[in-house]
Structure 1
Amino acid sequence: MPKILTDDDIADFRAELCRVATERFAKYGYDGVTMRQLADELGCSPKTPYRYFQDKADILATVRAAAFGRFADALEAAAASSADPAERSSRVGRAYIDFALANPAAYRIMFDLNVPESMNHAELRRESARARQFITRQAEDLSRAGLIEADPQVVGWSMWAAVHGLVVLKLAGLLREGPDFDVLHKTMMRLIVEGARTKHAPVSERRKPAAEQAPMKN
C-alpha cells in the first residue's frame, strides 16, 4: 500500500527537489538538466517529480522565484536599515554583493541562464518585479536628495550593470590577480556617483563635432 504523504512530506520533497534543481541548473544550464537526472539525484522514480511540478520549465520558474524572493528580502532589509539616501544606497549595494557571493547558484539561475520565457509564472513575475524595483530606487532617492543630477534611471541601471559585472567576474575566479574586491567595488561606485553629479544632455541634444556640422553659408 502506497505511503500516504503528509503536508510536511510534500513540502520537504519539494524543497529538496528545488535545492537539487537549483544546483544542477546553475552548473549545467537549462538544456543540460533532465527530469530523469533530477529523479536519479533524489533516488526516486522518474515520474515522481511530475507529481509536484508540471515539467522542467515549471521547476526552474519555481526555483528562480524562490531565489528572487530571498534576494528581494535581503535588499529590502538593507534599504530599511538607514534613512540617509547615500548610506542606504551603499547598504543595498553591499547586500546585493553579499547575497550573490553567498548564494552563487541562486544568483546564476536568476541572471545568467538562457531560459525559456516563464514570466507567466505568477510567483516568478511577482518576486522578480520586487527585486528589480531596487535597480533604480536608490538612484532616485539620491536624485531627490540632490546628490546626483543625471537621469536616475540611467544611473540606477549603470550601477546594476557595474555591480553585476563585478559579481560575475568574482564568481568566475577572474579577480584573483586584480585589485582587492571591496576596493574595486567602492571605487567603481564612487566614479559612477561622481559622474552622475553632472546633468548630462541626451545624446541627440549634444553638439556634434565640428567636422560633422553643416558648412556655414557665405
Structure 2
Amino acid sequence: MTDLPYHHGKLREALLARATEIIEGVGVEGLSLRQLARDLGVSHAAPGKHFRDKQALLDGLALDGFRSMNARITAASEADGDHRARFVRIAQAYVDFAVSHPVLLTVMHSTKHHPDASDELRNIGEDGIRIARALIAEAQDAGELASGDVESLALVCFVSLHGAALLAAGNLLDGASVDDLTFATTELLWAGMVAGVPAPAETRDGTSGRRLR
C-alpha cells in the first residue's frame, strides 16, 4: 500500500498511485474517491481538487499508464540493434507492461475509446503503435521487409501481442513461458512481414480480400 502520509503538494500523484494499487487488487469496481481520501488521510473533498469524479480519475490513470508504457516502448525502439532486434524489444516491452499491469492496461484502452476521452489521451494512446509503424516502415525501406500497408501490419502485430499478453496475465498459458511465447509470436510476425501478404487474386480459394499494401 502507498506509504502514508503523502508528500505535501503531491496529492495527485498519491491518488493515482493508490488508485492503481486498488484496481490491480480488487478491480475498478472497488475504486472510489471517498475511499482514496480515507486511505491517504485527507478530507473527502480533497481529491475533488484534482479529479471531479471517478471517470476523471480513470482518465488520469490512463494518461499516466500510457506515459509509463510508451517510455518503455520508446527506449526499446531506440536501443542498439537492427530492425528485427528492436521489433522484438518493443514487443517484450509491451507484453511485460501488460502482464505487470493487466487491469490498468484494460482501463487505459477502454478509457482511450470512451466517447468523452480527451484529445490528449487519444493522442498519447496511439504513440506506441506509431512507434511500431515507424520501425516497420524503416525496415521496408531498408529492404528487410516486403512492402505492405504499414498501418494494417502494425495493427496485426498489436492484436497478436495483446492477445498473448492477456493470456499470460490470466495464467492461461498452461505452463508455457511468457518470454518464449513473446519470442515465438515476434518470429512469426516478422517472418510474415518478410514474406509479404498475397494479393486477393493470389489467395488459395480464389476469393478476394484486402491486400495489405
Q: TM-score range by the shorter chain?
A: 0.7 to 0.9
Partner letter of residue 124 of structure 2? E
Provide, for residues 10-53 of structure 1, a one-character-per-residue CA deviation record: whole Å limited to 9, x for no partner.
22x21111112223344555455332232233233322211222
Matched, 1:77 2:90: no
Match for residue 20 of structure 2? 22
Partner letter of residue 173 of structure 1? N
Question: How far apart are residue 76 of structure 1 and its match?
Answer: 1.0
**How does the TM-score come out when normalised to structure 1?**
0.76
Residue in structure 2 matching 1:190, options 187, 190, 206: 187
Matched, 1:57 2:55: yes
Question: How far apart are residue 188 of structure 1 and its match?
Answer: 1.7
Residue in structure 2 matching 1:97, options 90, 95, 98: 95
Distance 1:77 1:114 in 2: 23
Match for residue 9 of structure 2? 10
Percent identity over the alignment is 23
Distance 1:160 1:113 in 2: 18
Matched, 1:146 2:143: yes
Is the 2:32–2:54 contact (alpha carbons within 8 Å) kept by the matching residues of 1?
Answer: yes
| Cα 1:33–1:152 shift into 2, 3 Å | same
Residue in structure 2 matching 1:160, options 158, 162, 165: 158
Partner letter of residue 152 of structure 2? V
Structure 2 residue ranges without an equivalent (≥5): 1-6, 208-213
Structure 1 residue ranges without an equivalent (≥5): 1-7, 213-218
Supply the RMSD in Å over aligned alpha carbons: 2.8
Is the 1:39–1:46 contact (alpha carbons within 8 Å) kept by the matching residues of 2?
Answer: yes
Q: Aligned ranges for residues 99-138 of structure 1 at < 5 Å?
A: 99-111=97-109, 116-120=114-118, 122=120, 124-138=121-135
Is the 2:91–2:186 contact (alpha carbons within 8 Å) kept by the matching residues of 1?
Answer: no
Q: What number of residue pairs does the alignment pair up?
A: 200
Partner letter of residue 182 of structure 1? D
Distance 2:51 2:119 in 1: 12
Question: How far apart are residue 72 of structure 1 and its match?
Answer: 1.0
| Cα 1:117–1:171 shift into 2, 3 Å | same
Match for residue 38 of structure 2? 40
Provide, for residues 136-184 of structure 1, a one-character-per-residue CA deviation record: whole Å limited to 9, x for no partner.
2332222222222243333221211111111111111112x24332222
Is the 1:143–1:152 contact (alpha carbons within 8 Å) kept by the matching residues of 2?
Answer: no
Question: How far apart are residue 129 of structure 1 and its match?
Answer: 3.1
Residue in structure 1 matching 2:177, options 162, 176, 180: 180
Is the 2:37–2:47 contact (alpha carbons within 8 Å) kept by the matching residues of 1?
Answer: yes
| Cα 1:26–1:102 shift into 2, 3 Å | closer
Greater CA radius of gyration, 1 or 2?
Answer: 1
- Deviant stretches of 4+, over 3 Å: 25-32, 101-106, 111-118, 205-210
